Amino acid sequence: MVVGRRYYRGELDEEDDASKPKGFFAQLLDEKDEEEEGRAQVAPTRRAKTVRFAESPAQGTGGLEAPSTRQGSGGGGDAASGLEEGARKRGREETESADPRPKGRERTKSLLVKTVQARRNQKPETPAERQWREEQEILRNIEKQRMELKSAKELAQDIEYARTDTVDYNWTPPKWWSEAMSDRDKLEKTRKKLHIIAEGTDVVPPCETFQKMKLPKWLVDHLEGRGIVRPTPIQMQGIPVAFSGRDMIGVAFTGSGKTLAFSIPSVFTALIEDYRMPIRSGEGPVALVICPSRELARQTYQVLNGFVEAFNDCRDEKQLCERGTKEEQVAMRKIILKTMLCIGGVDLKEQTDVVRREGVHIIVATPGRLKDHLSKKRITLDACRYIVLDEADRMIDMGFEEDVREILSYFKSQRQTMLFSATMPEKIRSFANKSLVDPVIVNVGRAGAANLDVIQEVEYVKQDSKMVHILQCLQKTAPPVMVFCENKNDVDAVHEYLLLKGVDACAVHGGLDQEVREKSIDAFKNETKDVLVATDVASKGLDFANIQHVINYDMPGEIENYVHRIGRTGRCGKTGVATTFVNHQDCSESSLLDLKHLLKEAKQRIPPILNALDDPQEMEEELAIISGIRGCAYCGGLGHRVTMCPKLIAQDREISRRSAGGGGEMAGYGGEM
């Protein structure tokens, strides 16, 4: 009798190379294999019998006879047996193929073993991919800490607005728009020619002239009177987007005309809302512009007030409403637009009397003073349908985020929201994108890039030689010249030194009274003063038409401030010069690396002190391809990634310090004794 061998359900995996060192999980897998080999299961009785018959020797060997030999010597028995065996084999194969369960040893694999095998087969992660995964985790944590830019009520009740509820400007798009919207390739070529990047759904085409925007004649005449004949790229795309009623995030380099891009729609909003329901005493505003500093708010107010005066002074009814009926033209003529400046340092009673006496259509404000008026119910936002956050990223970084959220809680309905800035890092942009209603993002150039019309010069100057070196730098160009310092004490010291040397200079910083600050800026704008020495309060958004030269007495700690500083020159297509003093004592290595990459991007000369720096960004190009983000996604600096962002590290240290002090506004060194 021949004993049949045991039948194993699965086949054993091949053993690993003995010379290869095995880790913990590999040893665990081998032990699992050995355990299963010793615990091999026997096949069912019928199947084992079939196997033994198939493996039995031929007749005459003394063993068990095959089924065909027991049926006789005829060929019919052999054929029948073969057919029966073939049918049995086919049935067994069909049954096994129809079974969805894993075969053999696969059934007994544990989840741990499968995980180990999946890790073996996984493609190894590159250092760049590993760093991008870390950056994504950091950005996710930052987003978790930031709530959407909505009021507390909207966040609590999860109120969502739709695009159908936007402001209706009663503005008919030009006929050529439908054709331009259908030809997407031609539209993208036009935007590429103008260096415009527009993101969003159903973005309207750019208008290359004010006539194509269908602006009224009184407004076009006013613009031409100010020397503005053709719109800039941000105006070509931004004004049509605003007229279509969409929320927008506008990013363009300094001096590109962003103020005009949101001022014209605000005037039209006031006109339309007053035409539908006239503003009476105690009512208003219809449009609201919020700025981070008093100087910027005052400048924006002057621009808006120029448009309002041009409308109020226009006596030709046809110019006011060219396509309207006679009744509509008469009704438009009766409208008298009113604006208001709401900033600190000004008498509250004067501001309140304007609203109480006549009502107001447009308010330009800083967050603190506006919040004060709203809390005391001197101003209401019941009728407000249009809000602008100028220099939005700086406003959020400066701690005004909660103030803005509180201001939004006074709105009674959906509003059209416009965010503008010259520097809009990725973390601010994604935060704003979630806060707006299906926004259109308009970029002119890279967000945070320096103005290419500015010649940037970086000079190594020792700390004790800076004051003397300023006099030499003032001789590079004719006045007017701006000198920026990091703190108030340096501003006062440089201002006093220049006066002693006979230079006609003035100063601006946060420690001066509002009246003194306004007089200094007016004197510098009127060119009665040659040099303005200031902190960063004068670096954001202020427009000085003929500045030839900007001197950075010290390198700012954040590259965003540097971009805003040098943006005071080279405006409106003119060329300017920016000189920056650097040394190893006052400048951190990260800020110098950011400056080096910014100069490289603008194709400027890189001085030896920056060339000598070791650049740790070996994987920058690969990371930029993987992530789609150049440099730091938090502060916009090109010399580091978000994992080594000095601004983020400083904020974390400040939070830790406050937590160690017991928390709250009065904790640690931040509170009063």
**Spatial separation of the C-alpha atoms in residues 252 and 477, rounded to whole Å:** 27
* pLDDT score, position 626: 75
Query: How many degrees, rounded to 5, is the angle at CA 153 between CA 147 and CA 155?
Result: 30
* pLDDT score, position 617: 65
Closest CA to 552 of 583, 506, 596, 598: 583
* Fold matches, 192-444 and 454-587: yes
What is the average pLDDT across 4-15? 46
Q: What pTM does this model have?
A: 0.70
**Spatial separation of the C-alpha atoms in residues 90 and 10, rounded to whole Å:** 20
List the structure tokens of 114.
Answer: 């499968």
**Spatial separation of the C-alpha atoms in residues 32 and 537, rounded to whole Å:** 70
* pLDDT score, position 190: 86
Residues 247-279: tens digit of each pLDDT? 999 988 777 888 999 999 999 999 988 888 888
Residues in the chain: 673
* pLDDT score, position 239: 93
Q: Is the per-residue pLDDT at 496 higher than 80?
A: yes
Which comes out higher in pLDDT, residue 214 or 106?
Answer: 214
As a whole number, the mean pLDDT across the chain is 78
* pLDDT score, position 102: 54
Over the range 402-435, which residues count as b (16 or more CB within 10 Å of their CB) and which as e? ebbbbbbebbeebbbbbbbbbbbbbbbbebbbeb
* pLDDT score, position 306: 92
* pLDDT score, position 482: 94
What is the average pLDDT across 115-122? 79
List the structure tokens of 299.
Answer: 């400048």
Question: Which of 153-162, 164-173, 247-256 shows the lowest per-residue confidence on average (mean pLDDT)?
Answer: 164-173
* pLDDT score, position 11: 44
Q: Is the per-residue pLDDT at 107 higher than 90?
A: no
Q: Is the per-residue pLDDT at 73 higher than 50?
A: no
Question: Which of 167-181, 222-236, 288-302, 578-592 shows the lowest per-residue confidence on average (mean pLDDT)?
Answer: 167-181
**Spatial separation of the C-alpha atoms in residues 383 and 647, rounded to whole Å:** 39
* pLDDT score, position 498: 94
Residues 121-151: tens digit of each pLDDT? 777 777 777 877 888 887 777 776 666 667 7
Cβ–Cβ < 8 Å for 55, 5: yes
Q: Is the per-residue pLDDT at 38 higher than 60?
A: no
Question: Which of 279-288, 411-420, 624-633 shows the lowest per-residue confidence on average (mean pLDDT)?
Answer: 624-633
Q: Is the per-residue pLDDT at 608 higher than 80?
A: yes
Closest CA to 559 of 457, 639, 462, 460: 639
Provide the pLDDT confidence category of residue 456 given band limits of 50, 70 and 90: very high
Cβ–Cβ < 8 Å for 580, 454: no
Which CATH number does 192-444 carry?
3.40.50.300
Q: How far apart are the first and last CA of the chain?
A: 103
585 SS3 class? coil
Provide the pLDDT confidence category of residue 98 given band limits of 50, 70 and 90: low
* pLDDT score, position 84: 65
* pLDDT score, position 572: 73
Question: Which of 147-161, 375-389, 397-411, 621-635 shows the lowest per-residue confidence on average (mean pLDDT)?
Answer: 147-161
- Domain regions of the chain by residue span: 24-121, 192-444, 454-587
β pairing state of 287-290 and 386-390: parallel
Q: Which CATH superfamily is domain 454-587 in?
A: P-loop containing nucleotide triphosphate hydrolases (3.40.50.300)
Q: Does the N-terminal peptide bond of residue 233 adopt cis geometry, omega within 30 degrees of 0?
A: no
Residues 6+ apart with CB under 8 A from 199: 440, 441, 443
Provide the pLDDT confidence category of residue 503 given band limits of 50, 70 and 90: very high
Give strand pairing partners of 143. none
Give the highest mean pLDDT range of 273-287, 396-410, 639-653.
273-287
Residues 540-557: tens digit of each pLDDT? 777 787 888 999 998 888
Which comes out higher in pLDDT, residue 403 or 35?
Answer: 403
**Spatial separation of the C-alpha atoms in residues 395 and 217, rounded to whole Å:** 35
Q: Does the N-terminal peptide bond of residue 285 adopt cis geometry, omega within 30 degrees of 0?
A: yes
Provide the pLDDT confidence category of residue 100 given band limits of 50, 70 and 90: low
Provide the pLDDT confidence category of residue 35 given band limits of 50, 70 and 90: low
Residues 505-528: tens digit of each pLDDT? 999 998 888 889 889 998 998 889
* pLDDT score, position 99: 53
Tell me the CA distances in angstroms from 139 to 144, 427, 431, 449, 628, one per residue in order: 9, 7, 11, 22, 14
Provide the pLDDT confidence category of residue 14 given band limits of 50, 70 and 90: very low
Q: Is the per-residue pLDDT at 484 higher than 90?
A: yes
* pLDDT score, position 146: 66
Say which amino acid occupies 92: R
Provide the pLDDT confidence category of residue 2 given band limits of 50, 70 and 90: very low
* pLDDT score, position 387: 93
What is the average pLDDT across 357-367? 91
Residues 264-321: tens digit of each pLDDT? 999 999 998 888 888 888 888 999 999 988 888 998 999 999 999 999 888 777 777 7
